[in-house]
Chain A
Amino acid sequence: MKELVFPFNSNAIMRNKREIERQLLSDGTSRIRKNIAVLGGSTADHVISMLRLFLLDAGIEPQFYKSEYNKYYEDAVFGSPELDAFSPDIIYIHTTSRNLALLPDSGTLTEEEANARLSEQSGLFTQVWESLRKRFSCPIIQNNFELPLFRRTGSYDCWAPGGQAAFINRMNVMLSDYARQHQNFFINDINYLSSAIGLEKWHDAENWYLYKYAMSTSVIPDLAYSVSSIIKSIYGKNKKVIDLDLDNTLWGGVIGDDGVDGIEIGPETPVGQSHSEFQEFIRGYKDYGVLLAVCSKNDEENALLGLKRDDCVLHPDDFVSIKANWDSKDRNIISSAEELGLLPDSFVFIDDNPAECAMVSGQIPQAGVIELTSVSDAMYALSRSGYFEITSLSGDDLKRNEMYAANAKRAAQAKSFTSYKDYLLSLEMNAVISDFEPVYRQRITQLTNKSNQFNLTTKRFTESEIEELSESSGYIRLCGRLADKFGDNGIVSVVIGRCESDTAHIDLWLMSCRVLKRDMELAMLDEFVRQCRENGISRILGYYYKTPKNSMVAGLYESFGFTKTEESENGDTVWTLGTEDYKNKNEVINVKKEQ
């Protein structure tokens, strides 16, 4: 919803929250439900109501547990039956510098005394986290600490033994260390947020005295947005592609008018320098698996000339798709998305032209759109947007750009074959199909949360649920990895069959769209049936739960030779297959089984 996209009007959101919520709830979106426990060290009511709006907007319907006022420590360390019964999917510990009970209060503190306080304070927080981790295996989000507005001794406060800023900075380092060393633990960086917004605006002592809010109520939407970005990311709702305009976005000037030598890029001019810095910033996203694309109204020849300039930071092969033509930009985005097997919703479009931005927002409302009023504004908008919040980095993320480049080569090769099967054979595909081995579990979890199109039941799993399922008997678990002569796609398909006497229920069947039409699903089916037979299972039940995004697989079980046994009004279907007469279907992939 427009009102909730950064940069938003916090006052308007707070004031109109009921109306905004009403609109979100009636927009017909299907949302995943999540239980979120907010353990607060100060009043949290508005944090929760704002978080609710941002999460609804992100396709997550939250239910909240709220600890009693400032009872985060008690709830965590001693436990509470209510919290146990609530069974949180996410725990958010909303503490601030107000909760640093051991914050130095005297200028006569020695360094040793300060160290002792620091270690005691760290110990208290570690105790909170460890107790929670023991009881719940869900992700924990912890605020770090903001600097106070007041300081007695000027700059000395940040390095004095008894300095409060000094203490807070050291606590923040301790938090970051803990986060790096522990999975499923994430920091909500209010130290950055309060600095970016400004401590003068962040702090409002009267809001503390009056209501026990640890920050001004006017910045609570910013705080909640930051938390919602982390939660969105945990559930695989990050954007995937940055789609960029060229003229006056990646470089200064219009290449069609100014010529390749007339555009501004590089250190010679201020404008050129700003665009170089922008390109550097954008290129950095590739390391995190974000794909880059171009969407420009230009002749392709001109566009490429610009990108091939030596002083351009980004070159044609940095992009997985380049659309330089005179079609409308929304259509170009949709066609790039189709080529990449992604949804247009997963695109962030950046353009200096407000009309193009409005056009794309109108046609693809779920896509991210950033109007580049200046290079620095665009970088700040990306910084605060939460589109690419990182909560896990799998090896696959890091290699994603290579994989898409390999896809482009495959597409080129496909053109030279008359029969599709010949083309598939020419790819020399090798698959490994295995159980949910520990090294794969992070990727499996990620896939269950972000696959929307080739996903029959769209059932989402947390990492701890996958762990638990992996150790349980009574399941047929398959994860498939596909490589070919152009590259390794990594884990691309996950299937979970739940066995009940002679029947296997397919609770989950998904595949990454990057390997569509490669017959990988047939290889998975062959192996699934083989394991069914081995376990004395004679009947397989497949379920298709219709969502707005998975129509691509509505006919999958039919194509597998299943028979439809049920169809409900909302489009959900149930299918059955006998294992006895099944004949293997895959003819193009060489499959290895891993023990």
Chain B
Amino acid sequence: MNKNEITERLNKVFRDVFGDDSISVNENTTSADIEDWDSIEHINLIAAVESEFGIRFKMREVSGMKNVGEMMEIISQRG
């Protein structure tokens, strides 16, 4: 899976989860950039990303991801 494909599918997930079609993520996007991205929505987001890409994040990763770039990195390794 190339980076563009990952970004495209991630964008779709983010837009669904946050109900906002204007969202466009990149490697530097963090929870501070998206208004509704709090700890509760983080749970939902992780579950949606996992099911979209058929992967499972490790516990350390769930709590340790600093930005969308790290998430993409994990997806590209495992997806």
Chain B contributes a number of interface residues (CB within 8 A of A) equal to 14
- Summarize B's interface: helix, strand, loop or mixed: helix
- Known A-B contacts A210-B59, A210-B62; the reply to A15 vs B43 at CB < 8 A is no
CB distance from B41 to the nearest CB of A (A): 9
Nearest-neighbor residue (CB-CB) of A16 within chain B: B16
Bound-complex Cα distance A209 to B57 (A): 14
Given contacts A206-B59, A210-B59, A210-B63, contact A46 B44 (CB under 8 A): yes
Instruction: Looking at the assembled complex, report how far the CB atom of B61 sits from the nearest CB atom of chain A, in whole angstroms.
Output: 10
A211 close to B16 (CB less than 8 A) = no
- Report B-chain residues with C-beta under 8 Å of the C-beta of A22: 19
Cα distance A206–B47 when bound, in Å? 12
A15-B13, A18-B19 given; A211·B43 CB < 8 A: yes
What's the dominant secondary structure at chain A's contact region? helix
**Chain A interfacial positions (CB closer than 8 Å to B):** 11, 14-19, 22, 45-46, 206, 209-211, 213, 217-218
Say yes or no: is B48 at the interface (Cβ < 8 Å to chain A). yes
Contact A11 B47 (CB under 8 A): yes
Give bound CA distance, A14 to B19, whole Å: 12
Rounded to whole Å, the gap between the CB of A207 and the closest CB of chain B is: 8
State the CA gap A45–B19 with chains docked (Å): 18
Q: Please tell me if the beta carbons of A217 and B47 are within 8 angstroms of each other in the complex.
A: yes
Contact A11 B51 (CB under 8 A): yes
Name B42's closest neighbour in chain A (CB-CB). Answer: A211
Asked if B1 is at the interface of the complex by the 8 Å CB criterion, the answer is no
- Residues of chain B lying within 8 A (CB to CB) of residue A17: 44
Give the distance to chain B from A53, nearest Cβ to Cβ, in Å: 13
Q: Which residues of A contact B44 (CB under 8 A)?
A: 14-15, 17, 46, 217
22 A-B pairs in the complex with CB atoms less than 8 angstroms apart: A11-B47, A11-B48, A11-B51, A14-B44, A15-B16, A15-B44, A15-B47, A15-B48, A16-B16, A17-B44, A18-B16, A18-B18, A45-B40, A46-B40, A46-B44, A206-B59, A209-B59, A210-B62, A210-B63, A211-B43, A217-B43, A217-B47
Shortest beta-carbon contacts, A-B, top 8: A18-B19, A15-B48, A11-B51, A45-B40, A15-B16, A16-B16, A217-B47, A211-B43
Contacts of A45 in B (CB 8 A): 40, 43
A14 touches B59 (CB 8 A): no
